[in-house]
Structure 1
Amino acid sequence: MTNFLDNTAIRIEFPVTNRMLYLDSAHQTPLCIRVRAALEQFFTEGYEMAGPKPVWLERVEVVRARLANFIGAAPDEIAYTKNTSEGLNIAANAIDLKPGDNVLMIEGDHPNNAYAWLNLKRKGVDIRFIKLETDVASAETFAPHIDSRTRVISLSHVTFHAGQRHDIASIGTLCKSRRLYLVVDAMQSVGVLPIDVKAMGVSMLAAGCHKGLLVPQGLGFLYVDRNLSELHPAYLATAGLENPPADFIARPDDLALRPGARRFELGNFNLPDIHALGASLTLITDIGTQSIEAHVINLGDKLIAGLDALGVGLAGPRDRRHRAHIYVLMLPMDWIPYFAKHNVRVSPERDGIRVSFGLFNNEADVDTLIALIRARLESQDCENSASALTCPLR
């Protein structure tokens, strides 16, 4: 029998569960009690003490170390950013790509990953999109397309539009053997799936913190392998210097960069969200990402079984190894207002309606969703039948 996470106490942390059926964590996770408390603590300190900045900056480094440990990195391999897109753009511009070099990507991946690299076309870099012929991408997907001018492979760990979990580890092994950079968008996986950047062979990994990491929008991070000392920031500020001038007078003769990822930071941090991240990391690590992963996949099993019974298709992969928390139901867009009417939060997606689970969802949530789908399908059947006038569901 499938063992679901006993998340009764977790649901208490998320008051949204008392107000609606929230199935949209791939868009934005709702605030939980402890994250709100961390934000309120920060604002209270700023309100009452005009900002104890040295204390806040100490906390920034504590959270940096915890975040690094969370993904199997070292603290000096983590830079704070605003969001995934900023991290991907930093990565794209840090690599010394020459005219004629090429970057391999998956056709239809998140557009903000694509645009970070497409912006380099003005420098003569060739961006090549590979059509995905299988459920998920692996080393076999990319290997035939690598040539002597290939420098980078970039893709999402988990796709936003159908929930595929790509085989990053095999791609990482391929990149290492061919001396390629592997740049990964982990927006939809961090906080939901276990991530070990070293085991995966990732060169750089970018993510925002407003989905699986449970904080408000405006904070992200970039992992940069500490061995990639050749990477150079496109923008430079005092925060990125190894020897920042104590008198705040620029030294044109000393532009040495900080070692590690912090060379890419540009100054003031999103302090409220970093405080929130400290609180959310405590919650997530107490539960364990392996438990969260198993839970959302088990919810997916239950959802798929219910959809199969109703004859509703699934746009993404069915194999447990190839999916995570995102499921796209092959239903038309006119289902969105129906779900909204019944206080269910979902998202429209390319091939249907996207349902995405969070650690606070449970079996009853899936039962409620399936019951709502069944009710509308039965109502539609009645309306389309010759006996529609006597149908009790009209």
Structure 2
Amino acid sequence: MSRHYDVQAVRREFPAADRMVYLDSGFQAPLARPVKAAIELFLREGLETAGPKSVWLDRVEETRARGARFLGVSAQEIAFTKNTSESMNIAANALPLRAGDKVLMIHGDHPNNAYAFLNLQRKGVEVRFVPMTDIVDAASFLPHIDEKTRAISMSHVTFHAGHRFDIASIGALCADKKLYFAVDVMQAIGVVPIDARAMQASFVGSGTHKGLLVPQGLGLLYWNKALNELEPTYLATASLAEPPADLIATSEILAPAPTARRFELGNFNLPAIHALGAAIDMIEQIGVQNIQNHCFDLGDHLIAQLDELDIRLVGPRDRRHRAPHIYVIGLPASEWLGYFEQNGVRVSPERDGIRVSFGMFNTIADVDRLVELIRKRGLKTSSRAA
């Protein structure tokens, strides 16, 4: 049962949830029936009509508008990308950073965000890492800001232990100090309510294969269109303000589009965009706030069970500082991952243990099955909470 929505009805849309205890949505969400149906529609149209491309492109723009609404921004500020890594690389290279400029990041944050900016070291840009603690807010960054600091880039939610950082206070700090602010929301989107404009972000990047329920190969990028100086480092016909009608490239026609399409290249991942439209419809019918609250309840139950077993939770416990859906249990992955898999429970190995990541379809019974397996096997002293 859930206090927030009919979780059993939602669960019926995810056949994989009946085949296993799926606690790995932080890695990739299982396919939902409405998402599968949207992909099948695209395939059927391609099979039967060789592709109604104008119809498909109209759906692209409909989905762009849905994605923009989902993030609290305008459709002109949303670009489609391949994944989070591409989104963050586009952001890093669009910032007007020069040799001697400094970017602040969080030590141990997602490597594909970090590498996008570390690659700028070849241009003489300095990347400085701020220590990660259970609470990261404006005060965490303030002592590290100096006259050379130009940007902060970070995740909203961490993938490895479910930290949920105070993005609002950091965005306000960036606005006050006139810093660019890039945010990776891959592990938050679809579960944690997001208002990209309220974040005061320059860029917000994400993939879609976790909380947005779409198979891999599609990403989103929000660009604050007030920051017109942020231009792509590469260019294609699709990214131009006025593509030449005869499709003959000239050096006179180079101005990028005034919308986030300036960051898009070539053809779209049309099947995935069809899937995304269906996924957003499904999520909005339930409500992101309801999904978040349901996952928090599951997390509370998991934490209480771990406390009874005297097993350590890695990362923050307080709802104010933890993600609703990501929890790392202090059990050595090398000893436990195979055991869970053999018993029909899908989880992920992480730096400090076993990561449990909930989706909208999970139930208290899923948590209880996980805990039952831990009780059945028993613990070594090293797994006990400190």
| TM-score normalised over the length of structure 2 | 0.96
1:5 deviation in Å? Answer: 3.7
Distance across 1 between alignment mates of 2:163 and 2:212: 19
- Deviations along 1:274-294, one digit per CA (max 9) or x if unpaired, are 000010001000000000010
Following the alignment from structure 1 to structure 2, what is the Cα–Cα distance between the partners of residues 234 and 2? Answer: 47
Aligned-pair CA distance for 1:321: 1.2
Question: Contact 1:90–1:233 at 8 Å: present in 2 too?
Answer: yes
Q: Which amino acid aligns with 2:36?
A: R
User: Distance between the aligned counterparts of 1:357 and 1:322, measured in 2?
Assistant: 17
Asked if structure 2 preserves the Cα contact closer than 8 Å seen for 1:4 and 1:298, the reply is no
State how 1:186-197 maps to structure 2 within 5 Å: 186-197=185-196
Secondary structure of 2:116's aligned partner: helix
Correspondence list, 1:26-175, <5 A: 26-132=26-132, 134-175=133-174
Match of 2:384 in 1: none
Within 5 Å, give how 1:339-354 maps onto structure 2.
339-354=340-355
| CA distance in structure 2 between the aligned counterparts of 1:106 and 1:178, rounded to whole angstroms | 18
Unaligned runs of 5+ in 1: 382-394
SS at match of 1:206: strand
CA deviations on 1:1-59 (whole Å, 9 max, x unpaired) are: 98354311100000011100000000000000010010000000001100100000000
Output one character per residue of 1:80-112: Cα deviation in whole Å (capped at 9) or x when no partner.
000000000000000111100000000000000
CA distance in 2, matches of 1:91, 1:58: 26
Identify the residue that residue 7 of structure 2 maps to in structure 1: 7
Task: Give the corresponding residue for 1:254.
Answer: 253
Q: In structure 2, what is the Cα distance between the partners aligned to 1:2 and 1:374?
A: 25
Return the alpha-carbon distance in structure 2 between the equivalents of residues 317 and 349 of structure 1: 15
Q: Could you tell me whether the CA contact under 8 Å between 2:5 and 2:286 is conserved in 1?
A: no
Kindly provide the amino acid, as one letter, of the partner of residue 349 in structure 1.
Answer: E
Whole-Å Cα distance in 1 between the matches of residues 188 and 251 of structure 2? 42
Q: Distance in 2 between matches of 1:319 and 1:260?
A: 39
Counterparts of 1:82 and 1:257, CA distance in 2: 20
Question: What is the alpha-carbon distance in structure 2 between the residues aligned to residue 6 and residue 64 of structure 1?
Answer: 28
Aligned mates of 1:188, 1:289 — CA distance in 2: 14
CA apart distance, 1:116: 0.2
Which residue matches 1:220? 219
Give the Cα separation in 1 of the matches to 2:26 and 2:224.
Answer: 27
What amino acid sits opposite 1:216 in the alignment? P
The CA deviation at 1:209 is: 0.3
Cα distance in structure 2, aligned partners of 1:229 and 1:100: 23
Are the aligned partners of 1:347 and 1:355 in contact in 2 as well (CA < 8 Å)?
A: yes
Q: CA RMSD in A?
A: 1.3
Which residue number corresponds to residue 311 of structure 2?
A: 312
| Shift, 1:257, TM fit | 1.2
| 3-state SS in 2 of match to 1:187 | coil
The question of whether the paired residues in 1 share the 8 Å contact of 2:299 and 2:327 is answered with yes
In the alignment, is the contact (CA less than 8 A) between 1:31 and 1:216 conserved in 2?
yes
- Deviation per CA, 1:123-181: give whole Å up to 9, x if none: 0000001112x312100000110000101100000000000000000000000000001
Secondary structure of the equivalent of 2:28?
coil
Q: Which residue matches 1:244? A: 243
Residue 199 of structure 1 and its aligned partner are, at CA, apart by: 1.2
* Cα distance per residue 1:253-302 (max 9 Å; x no partner): 12111012110101100000000001000100000000001011110000
Letter in 1 for 2:57: L
- Residue by residue over 1:225-250, the C-alpha shift from the partner in whole angstroms, topping out at 9 and shown as x without a partner, is 01010011111000110110111111
Match of 1:178 in 2: 177
**Preserved contact between residue 4 and residue 294 of structure 2 (Cα < 8 Å):** yes
User: Does the Cα contact within 8 Å between 2:244 and 2:253 map onto a contact in 1?
Assistant: no
| Residue-pair matches, total | 379
* Pairing 1:304-383 to 2, within 5 Å after superposition: 304-324=303-323, 325-333=325-333, 334-377=335-378
Alignment partners' CA distance in 2, 1:119 and 1:295 = 39
* TM-score where L is the length of structure 1: 0.95
> In structure 2, what is the Cα distance between the partners aligned to 1:255 and 1:122?
26
1:287-346 CA distances to partner (integer Å, 9 max, x unpaired)? 000000101111000000000000110001000111121000000121001101101000
AA paired with 1:287?
A: I
Answer whether contact 1:297 1:323 (CA < 8 A) is retained: no
d(CA) in 1 for partners of 2:5, 2:111: 34
Mark the structure with the bigger radius of gyration: 1
Residue 124 of structure 2 aligns with an amino acid whose one-letter code is G
Alpha-carbon distance between aligned partners in 1 of 2:2 and 2:87, rounded to the nearest angstrom: 38
Query: What aligned pairs does 1:194-213 form with structure 2 within 5 A after superposition?
Result: 194-213=193-212
Unaligned runs of 5+ in 2: 382-386
